[in-house]
Amino acid sequence: MRPSPPARRPSRALRARAQLAEDKGYELAVFHSHVAAPARPSRTDVENIGLWSGRPYLVYSIQQDDLAAFRIEDGLIESLPLT
């Protein structure tokens, strides 16, 4: 088994884009990270979306220092713009 890569702090640009998605106590989005996988929903993410179906789903890849946004609903994945 290979040792885990050391934890890296997200870049300044990523931290600026990935602010907590909350407004007056209402959850607006899911923020999720993958240690060594790309910034896109995995099959497990899609299968376990549950109550988050249809809401923005942000995935951060720690290894690639990349952030992407999606909407997952009825097993379909839609890419969303990051603004």
Q: Where are the domains of the chain?
A: 26-76
What is the CA angle 50-14-73, rounded to 5?
20
pLDDT of residue 28: 78
Q: At 45, list the tokens.
A: 């993410």
What is the rounded CA–CA span in Å between residue 57 and residue 42?
Answer: 12
Residues 21-76: pLDDT tens digits? Answer: 445 555 678 888 999 999 999 999 999 998 889 989 999 999 999 999 999 999 99
pLDDT at 11 exceeding the cut of 60: no
Q: At 28, list the tokens.
A: 């607006």
What is the rounded CA–CA span in Å between residue 68 and residue 33?
Answer: 10
